[in-house]
A and B are shown apart, each in its own frame.
Chain A
Amino acid sequence: MSQSTTENLKKTALNAWHRAHGARMVPFVGWDMPVEYTGVSNEHLAVRTRAGLFDVSHMGQVEIAGKDALAAVQHITSNDASRLKVGQAHYSGLMTPKGTFVDDLLVYRFGDQHFLMVVNASNVDKDYAHIVEQIKGIGDASAVNSSSRYELIAVQGPQARGIVQKLTSVDLSAIKYYWFTHGEVAGARATLSRTGYTGEDGFEIFVAPAQAVRVWEALLEAGRDVDLIPCGLGARDTLRLEAAMRLYGNDIDDTTTVLEADLEWIVGWNKTEFVGKEALAQQKARGLTRRLVGFEMVDRGIARHGHDVCDGAAKVGAVTSGTQTPFVKKAIGMAYVPIAKTAPGTEFEVDIRGRHMRARVVALPFYKRPRG
């Protein structure tokens, strides 16, 4: 089978491991990444029912430190980072002055005056430049692009905690969802974060690149009895869509505001200011004209990113993500539609290769994990 040339692509520390273990590799935003090992559906179901292992080391990291680090983070991100305790993380947005997305990200409070932000691989350079520019005037705060210091390994699924627990003396049951701690995993210094992009419980583990293969193999070994399997970006995408997590470049970008993306919960309205606040306040006062919704197909067909949402012959919106999902087993998706069509139960049409197929608005997320 032919493999595309990978000379100009960036490689994670696990690249050779993926290739040696049968992953199908694809170019993904400048990286040579595994899209699947044993099939998207198989990997998707493994994560929903047992556990899956992901190399997400392509994700970028930008750290902000200094006496005024909190002020800097408050200025550049939408969510209210003052609510973060040391050891806690949250989802947030890096906003343009228009209230649209430069990127979406996780903000980790490493210390009182030290934050780490995990950003999309496609946006690292853009984000870093934006951040440096935006925090210039803020006293003592400096930003560092520390992406090359971290490999990021995600263990996701109902069995994830048990697997990781075998390899660490840190009491993982004490780490709440969206909290993290530092410790050793399989003898390697690591940051263990109870976060993920799948809608399941699980951990994202930051390690030094030199330790990545050892930690990865130790995790697979520790998960052998529950059939932990390596997974690719294909399953990561279908899993995040079932969980209705937005994907930058598909569902959100610099043309969509955080309100239109139905993410008002990451807007810190009580902050005195942040980049984009004024525009967002105006938009809220004016009222939205369109909003992101979840939908299921009524007619047979699968809506995909870029398909038009139609009202008769007129294009009134756009599908941003869509697939047939392996667990929910429906053709689902997300789309921007006119505000009058956003109520659950409302039907609209999607132009799928020239044919108008009916879809119905449903409440998000499509999948919610059972909580014990």
Chain B
Amino acid sequence: MYPNDFKYTKDHEWVKVSGAEGQIGITDYAQKQLGDIVYLDLPEPGKVVKQGQVLGTVESVKAVSEIFSPVSGEVVRVNKDLADKPEKVNAAPHESWMVAVKLSNPAEVNTLLDATQYAELAK
């Protein structure tokens, strides 16, 4: 269910790190809690975030939820496809990366949960 090569937050975000970059999305558990996602409010490239800071918001028909950045860094890319098709996050949450961040402190990744720990939390 939860990919082993991702790291997770207690707030139900995931980050997939490759090299100096991390792609960030929300977990299957998060999309289920939110229900039908209808809108994503994502930052512009260039925005600098700290670990735990608000990166954007996800809105479902019934709720608004903030996305907290799992890592510190600078936003380098935003997944524009999701702006027109936010429902993709419901259909494939672990393939629907929202932003890519250039990590400013790669060691932070070690503070996150691994797949087994996260699966336990999201039970």
Query: Residues of A with Cβ closer than 8 Å to B?
Result: 1, 35-36, 39-42, 44, 234, 237-238, 300-302, 304, 323-326, 331, 353
Contacts and interface: CB of A to CB of B under 8 A. Distances in A.
B57 A326 contact: no
Contacts of B39: 300-302, 324, 331
Interface stretch (B58-66, B100-108, B111-119): B58-66
Sorted from nearest, which 3 A-B pairs have the closest CB atoms?
Answer: A324-B38, A40-B61, A41-B36
Interface in B24-74: 35-36, 38-39, 41, 57, 59-62, 64
Interface residues of B, number: 13
13 contacts: A1-B123, A36-B62, A39-B35, A39-B36, A40-B36, A40-B60, A40-B61, A234-B61, A238-B62, A304-B64, A324-B59, A331-B39, A353-B57
Contacts of A39: 35-36
B35 A234 contact: yes
Given A36-B35, A302-B38, A326-B36, A238 B61 contact: yes
A333 to B, nearest CB: 13
Contacts of A325: 61
Nearest to B122: A1
Nearest to A238: B61
A325 B36 CA distance: 11
A35 B62 contact: yes
A238 B38 CA distance: 13
Given A301-B41, A302-B39, A326-B61, 7 more contacts: A1-B123, A40-B36, A40-B61, A300-B39, A323-B62, A324-B38, A353-B41
